[in-house]
């Protein structure tokens, strides 16, 4: 902002719209709350008073239409996989997916004999951040969320991508 | 009543239905499937037996050559006695009368056993899969079950022993 800097009064901020949008988006990614297995308990713990996700601007929504981030917390069965995909498709762009725990990432404890478990949610929806653990502690999930916020911040929604 | 006394009552009432099975413990009794609804009605309503609680229905696969079994855990609230009834089915066409209308809890128990073993409960009013999706193929808890390769276009990745993971 070299040219425009210090040209205005003190209470005017100059920024590029791209960056401003990235900043605005990254600081309030509302997440879609649905727990699939034990990992959901840790997700709830992250949202509750001790860790308090709202402190980093994240608030649970019960409808995919209102959510920006889908936290896949737990074991995705084949039966659920179709529903997860459908819910992902119902979310409005821009949308992000966090794969929480080893079940969602790779099938977890069911990787060999779980005939009905999807071996990684990335087989049905694109995943932005993987959080390892069985289950990950709330601190780990929060780190994953902060990583996601960093990622959103670097996006340039108005810049045309070169082919 | 002790298990032996319960068995004696059954033997007295339904001599044709008893099956000898060495593998069972003394708390278990094997019966033939063809009279099952009649026997079940009797042991539920008889004042001395009064099995008013169906605790569980389990499917059981005795191996590739053996029969499939349904096992009913029955308990009497009144007399505080228990018995496990075992009924064997042949592998090709496993079926037995449903007791869903006798003990209402049997509704979901039978659906689950059907879902996992493919045992058909004749007379069940709503025999659908309960855990697996409706269009699932095969009976997962049978010993000879082979998981499906794909489900709605999603590859069911299989990790086999050959891959050196064990
Ligand atoms: S990763 Fe572990 S804690 Fe999480 S859903 Fe799977 S089994 Fe449960």
The verdict on whether omega for the bond into residue B158 sits within 30 degrees of 0, i.e. cis, is: no
The answer to the question of residue B38 being in a domain is yes
Among residues B16, B29, B37, which one has the least CA distance to residue B121? Answer: B37
Among residues A35, A100, A101, A90, which one has the least CA distance to residue A68? Answer: A90
The answer to the question of residue B72 being in a domain is yes
Task: Give the model's pLDDT for residue A145.
Answer: 92
- Extract the residue ranges of chain A whose pLDDT is less than 70: 1-2, 161-163
Q: How far apart are CA A121 and CA A117, in angstroms?
A: 10
By Cβ distance, the residue of A79, A112, A120 closest to B165 is A112
Which H, E and C letters describe B102-122, residue by residue?
Answer: CCCCHHHHHHHHHHHHCCEEE
The answer to the question of residue B139 being in a domain is no
Q: Ligand 1 pocket, A39 CB below 6 A?
A: yes
Task: Give the model's pLDDT for residue A86.
Answer: 93
* A86 Cβ under 8 Å from any chain B Cβ: no
Residue B111: give its domain's CATH number.
Answer: 3.30.460.80
B166: pLDDT strictly greater than 80:
no
Percent of chain B whose pLDDT exceeds 90: 57
The answer to the question of residue B163 being in a domain is no
Query: Does residue B117 contact residue B109 with C-beta atoms inside 8 Å?
Result: no
B164: pLDDT strictly greater than 80:
no
The answer to the question of residue B88 being in a domain is yes
* B133 Cβ under 8 Å from any chain A Cβ: yes
Model pTM score? 0.81
Task: Give the model's pLDDT for residue B162.
Answer: 54
Ligand 1 atom 2 nearest Cα: A134
Q: Which residues of A43-63 are buried (b: 16+ CB within 10 A; e: fewer)?
A: beebbeeebebeeeebebbee
Report CA-CA distances (Å) from B81 to B55, B74, B85, B87: 12, 8, 13, 20
Q: Which of A46, A135, A138, A144 to mutate to test the pocket of ligand 1 (most atoms within 8 A of CB)?
A: A135
Total domain count, chain B: 1
The answer to the question of residue B95 being in a domain is yes
Q: Hey, what are B28's tokens? A: 């278990």
Mean pLDDT confidence for B6-15: 91
The answer to the question of residue B109 being in a domain is yes
Least confident of A32-36, B48-52, B128-132: A32-36
Task: Give the model's pLDDT for residue B163.
Answer: 57
Task: Give the model's pLDDT for residue B87.
Answer: 93
Question: What residues of A are in contact with residue B143 (Cβ under 8 Å)?
Answer: none
B146: pLDDT strictly greater than 60:
yes
Query: Looking at the predicted complex, does its ipTM rise above 0.90?
Result: no
Mutating which of A107, A116, A125 best tests the B interface, going by the most B Cβ atoms within 10 A? A116
Question: What residues of B are in contact with residue A123 (Cβ under 8 Å)?
Answer: 154-155, 157
Q: How far apart are CA B81 and CA B48, in angstroms?
A: 11
Question: What residues of A are in contact with residue B145 (Cβ under 8 Å)?
Answer: 115
Give the N- to C-terminal CA distance of chain A in Å, as an integer.
Answer: 27
Domain holding B114, by residue range, is 3-132
Query: Does residue A94 contact residue A57 with C-beta atoms inside 8 Å?
Result: no
E strand or H helix at A150, and its extent?
helix A138-154
Q: pLDDT tens across A73-92, in order?
A: 999 998 999 999 999 999 99
Read off the DSSP letter of residue A162.
P
Q: Ligand 1 pocket, A134 CB below 6 A?
A: yes
Percent of chain A whose pLDDT exceeds 70: 97
Task: Give the model's pLDDT for residue B157.
Answer: 65
B110: pLDDT strictly greater than 90:
yes
B57: pLDDT strictly greater than 90:
yes
Query: Does residue A25 contact residue A94 with C-beta atoms inside 8 Å?
Result: yes
Query: Does residue B97 contact residue B32 with C-beta atoms inside 8 Å?
Result: no
């Amino acid at each position: 902002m070299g040219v425009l800097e210090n040209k205005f009064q003190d209470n005017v901020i100059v920024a590029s719209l791209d960056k401003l949008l990235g900043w605005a988006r990254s600081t309030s990614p509302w997440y879609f709350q649905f727990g699939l297995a034990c990992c959901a308990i840790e997700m709830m713990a992250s949202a509750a008073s001790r860790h308090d996700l709202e402190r980093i601007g994240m608030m649970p929504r019960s409808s995919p239409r209102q959510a920006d981030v889908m936290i896949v917390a737990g074991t995705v069965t084949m039966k659920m996989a179709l529903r997860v995909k459908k819910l992902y498709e119902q979310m409005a762009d821009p949308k992000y997916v966090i794969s929480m725990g080893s079940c969602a990432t790779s099938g977890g404890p069911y990787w060999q004999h779980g005939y009905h478990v999807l071996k990684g949610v990335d087989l049905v929806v694109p995943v932005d951040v993987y959080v390892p653990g069985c289950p990950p502690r709330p601190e780990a999930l929060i780190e994953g969320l902060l990583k996601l916020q960093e990622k959103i911040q670097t996006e340039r929604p108005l810049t045309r991508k070169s082919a | 009543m002790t298990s032996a006394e319960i068995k004696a009552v059954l033997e007295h009432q339904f001599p044709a239905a008893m099956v000898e099975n060495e593998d069972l413990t003394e708390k278990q009794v094997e019966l033939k499937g063809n009279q099952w609804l009649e026997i079940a009605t009797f042991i539920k309503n008889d004042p001395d037996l009064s099995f008013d609680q169906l605790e569980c229905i389990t499917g059981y696969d005795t191996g590739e050559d053996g029969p499939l079994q349904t096992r009913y855990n029955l308990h009497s609230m009144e007399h505080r006695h228990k018995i496990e009834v075992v009924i064997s089915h042949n592998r090709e066409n496993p079926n037995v009368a449903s007791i869903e209308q006798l003990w209402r809890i049997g509704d979901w128990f039978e659906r689950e056993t059907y879902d996992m073993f493919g045992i058909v409960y004749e007379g069940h009013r709503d025999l659908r899969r309960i855990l697996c999706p409706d269009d699932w193929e095969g009976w997962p808890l049978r010993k000879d079950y082979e998981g499906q390769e794909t489900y709605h276009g999603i590859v069911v990745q299989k990790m086999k022993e050959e891959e050196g993971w064990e």
